[in-house]
Structure 1
Amino acid sequence: MSGQRTQLSRRGFLGGSLLLVAGTAIGCTTSPVGGSSSGAKTTLNVWSHAYGEAGTQQALTRYATAFTKAHPDIAVKITWVPGDYTAKLNASLLTGAAPDVFEHGDFTQGLARRGQVAALDDVYGSTKDDFNQGDRDLVTVDGKLYGIKTLDDPQMLYYRKSVLTKAGITPPTTFDALVAAARALTTKKNKGLFIGNDGVGEAAALAVFSRHGKLVADGKVDFALPRAVEAVSALKRPHDDKSLLLGFTTDWWDPSAFTQDVVPMQWCGLWAMPAIQDALGDDFGILPWPAFDTAGTPVVRVGGWTNCVNAKGRNVDAAKKFVQWLWIEQTALQRDWNESYGFHVPPRKSVAATAGKLRKGTAKEAVDLAAKYATSNPNTWDSASGTPFVAAAAKIVTGQGDPAALLAAAAEQAQAAVDKQLSR
């Protein structure tokens, strides 16, 4: 799942001992597995955000155990981090307690330019071309690879086939049609669309992308251009129609509002498809976020998670060995990680080709849509640049100011953050 958001309500705390960094509770840790009590010379601390899909923590622990069985001199401790993972990770990286290996959602250039992550070109070796070009581009800084993408998470619009059919509504393929459908499907008891508890979610970025815009292009913030302003401003329409579900018990990344018949349309991710299938059978369909207008394009936002090695850690060579073993050599485990705990698309072409659960039905449709319409945040986009943008969008959709002025002010703040990340 996409990393630039708080995970607390989605993820759940799974128990265990707390790790403290700079006075902040981080999460639960496993005992070092597979060799700490039998002579391992090195113990790696490996951080993961707290995935919500059942079995994920156990899978990572199982992988770590298998690694140490193959490398008895290296034990591995998995630290499971609930809550605002990104904030906790960033705080940890400023201390001596930083993890040896960590995952990062939506990798950003600043990690490499600040010297916080090690180059991994030697880890990739001859497999580099087996990774999707977009995933390689994400982690490339000045020609070097600084992370390994472990899963790709396409996001899309889910809709209830039976509900739309009964209402005589065609699945929306334009933004105008989406607004009209959400309005028509809103009743006294139910809203028509769920995009996030704040009524914005990912939609502000999606609006920009759907108008053939970019958040950042060649180091320049672009979301305040007139066409972007027009698209983001249009998100006010479903708010004015009161057709959006707001303040649900879980946010857009959890399919509960959709599977519990609270809304007939919801923006969510491929990861949720197994749960949706279990609840609804085949009574659902998927769509990309619709093109803003005839000059726009449909959008499938692709996020995901990347494994990185702490360049300032004491165990860089051992950390590289772990990352290479798991994310380069163990293709069966990579397939297990992407298919068995929610659905995700393997970043490696050879692994994706053998992922049987993703090669049929609606899952295959999602993979095909991602291949056709995939859009990812640039690797210059982080919380410092994204926060003012989302804050401006939240004001726009609730009518709290002039859209052009709000986005221009946000763009000025975001540009300063991008310039800082690029060290200029």
Structure 2
Amino acid sequence: MSAHRAQLSRRGFLGGSLLVVAGAAVGCSTSPIGGSSSGAKTTLNVWSHAYGEAGTQQALTRYAESFTKANPDIAVKITWTPGDYTAKLNSSLLTDAAPDVFETGDLSAAMARRGQLAPLDDLYGSAKSDFNQGDLDYVTVDGKLYGVKMIDDVMTLYYRKSVLAKAGITAPTTFDGLVAAAKTLTTKNNKGLFIGNDGVGDTPALAVLSNGGDLVTDGKAAFASAQAVEAVAALKRLTDGQSLLLGFTTDWWDPSALTQGIVPMQWCGLWAMPAIKTALGDDFGVLPWPAFKEGGSPVVKVGGWTACVNAKGKHVDAAKKFVQWLWVEQTELQKDWSESYGFHIPPRTSVAAAADKLSQGTAKETVALAAKYGKHNSNTWDTEVATPFVAAAKKIVSGQDDAAQLLTDAAKQAQTALDKQHS
């Protein structure tokens, strides 16, 4: 999923928490007293954002239950966190009620440098070489590993094969082609493309990357370069063409606009593929975000979730043991998590190779596109750095002021935030 989910998670609607003790899952709304019925000496508080795929809550509960069976001195409370997960997590980490283990969609180098995240190098062992190098790079800050990637979420452009064929359109390979296709596919009753309810979504970053630019390079904000300005400014053409679906009932992370025939092209994630296939059969394909122009590069966005340990928590050793057990050692559970509740790519190469549901059809094609064109955000690209860039892009798309000046001003703000990460 896209980085910087400021609002409700793409899967988020559940709430509550579960205490998992030796063999039982007990609902609770307050922190339990560890070991009261199980003999556990320690109770870990493990935070998760509220996934929406059916069975995810039960799966995490089963995993925690299995861990407690193997480690009866450690009970695990799974805390389901609805709504603005990132804001709630950041607030909690400042209190005594902070989780011991938490997942994050945007691992922050600043948090690591502030001493909030525990280094996890010792958890990997010989399995380190089996992890995707991009995932290792993502969790590395100043030479240390501060998380273990749980899943890789891959985002691509979905399209209806039959609709494009009927319109005589081939799948676009350049931004010009995408603009033309979206306009041609727009009718009196339907728009041609859905990239998000705000008409912007992930496209500013995709535009920069697809034109050979970058967002951050060697600690410097790089999105005011000539190629970045050119590509972001061009996004206004999608708006001017009136071919974008705006204000739909769900946002880009949900495939309903595509599956209900509201649009024939939609930016969405691999996680939605089972639902898309159920609705459309084989009448869909996937594309990377197209190269901005000849000589540019197609882009497949790679996000996902990472397990971290609170360095200031009360049970750091037990927390590290849980993360190591689940996200390093338990390859069967990792496989289950990646292909049983929507589709995701397992961060471990061997587990990905064993994921049968990802080795066929359009899912296999998506995995190959991610390997060829996948781009991870830098762990320095946090909310404070990204916000001025996104704000500038929205002004550019709506026709406010000069694109070069807006991005230059935004880069100065972002650089101040980047510099603060080292202070």
Aligned to 2:122: 122
- Secondary structure at 1:103's aligned position in 2? strand
Shift of 1:51: 1.2
Amino acid in the other structure paired with 1:172: P
- Secondary structure at 2:354's aligned position in 1? coil
Aligned to 2:293: 293
> Matched residues in 2 for 1:32 and 1:361: separation?
46
> Matched residues in 2 for 1:358 and 1:61: separation?
24
Aligned to 1:365: 365
> Matched residues in 1 for 2:310 and 2:332: separation?
26
Amino acid in the other structure paired with 1:343: F
> Matched residues in 2 for 1:49 and 1:16: separation?
11
Aligned to 1:315: 315
TM-score by length of 1: 0.95
Change over 3 Å in CA distance of 1:387–1:305 after alignment to 2: same
Aligned to 1:184: 184
> Matched residues in 1 for 2:269 and 2:176: separation?
22
> Matched residues in 2 for 1:88 and 1:319: separation?
20
Shift of 1:11: 3.2
> Matched residues in 2 for 1:291 and 1:33: separation?
55
Change over 3 Å in CA distance of 1:123–1:183 after alignment to 2: same
Aligned length: 414
Aligned to 2:268: 268
CA contact (8 A) 1:33 1:76 kept: no
Aligned to 1:74: 74
Shift of 1:106: 2.6
> Matched residues in 2 for 1:153 and 1:129: separation?
21
Amino acid in the other structure paired with 1:159: Y
- Secondary structure at 2:170's aligned position in 1? coil
Shift of 1:57: 1.1
TM-score by length of 2: 0.95
> Matched residues in 1 for 2:192 and 2:221: separation?
33
Change over 3 Å in CA distance of 1:36–1:404 after alignment to 2: farther
Aligned to 2:384: 384
Give matches, 1:19-418, under 5 Å.
36-418=36-418
Amino acid in the other structure paired with 2:144: K
C-alpha distance after superposition, 1:20-71 (max 9, x if no partner): xxxxxxxx86986996522211000000111121111111111111110111
CA contact (8 A) 1:32 1:78 kept: no
Shift of 1:209: 0.4
Amino acid in the other structure paired with 2:64: A
> Matched residues in 2 for 1:12 and 1:318: separation?
28
Change over 3 Å in CA distance of 1:68–1:258 after alignment to 2: same
Shift of 1:348: 0.3
Amino acid in the other structure paired with 1:38: S
C-alpha distance after superposition, 1:373-413 (max 9, x if no partner): 01111111001011111111111111011111111111111
CA contact (8 A) 1:156 1:288 kept: yes
Amino acid in the other structure paired with 2:177: A
Amino acid in the other structure paired with 1:335: K
Shift of 1:422: 2.5
Aligned to 1:13: 13
RMSD: 1.7
Aligned to 1:24: none
Change over 3 Å in CA distance of 1:7–1:57 after alignment to 2: farther
Change over 3 Å in CA distance of 1:163–1:176 after alignment to 2: same
> Matched residues in 2 for 1:239 and 1:3: separation?
23
> Matched residues in 2 for 1:132 and 1:14: separation?
31
> Matched residues in 1 for 2:16 and 2:381: separation?
33
> Matched residues in 1 for 2:90 and 2:192: separation?
38
> Matched residues in 1 for 2:239 and 2:269: separation?
23
Aligned to 1:22: none
C-alpha distance after superposition, 1:62-96 (max 9, x if no partner): 11111101111100001111111111111111111
> Matched residues in 2 for 1:36 and 1:156: separation?
48
Shift of 1:97: 1.3
Amino acid in the other structure paired with 2:76: V
Amino acid in the other structure paired with 1:319: A
Aligned to 2:25: none
Gaps of 5+ in 2: 19-27
* Percent identity of paired positions between Structure 1 and Structure 2: 76
Amino acid in the other structure paired with 1:244: L
CA contact (8 A) 2:9 2:50 kept: no
C-alpha distance after superposition, 1:96-141 (max 9, x if no partner): 1110000111312112101001011111111111101110011111
Aligned to 2:21: none
> Matched residues in 2 for 1:277 and 1:406: separation?
41
> Matched residues in 2 for 1:394 and 1:421: separation?
25
- Secondary structure at 2:332's aligned position in 1? helix
> Matched residues in 1 for 2:224 and 2:3: separation?
24
Aligned to 1:23: none
> Matched residues in 2 for 1:325 and 1:217: separation?
35
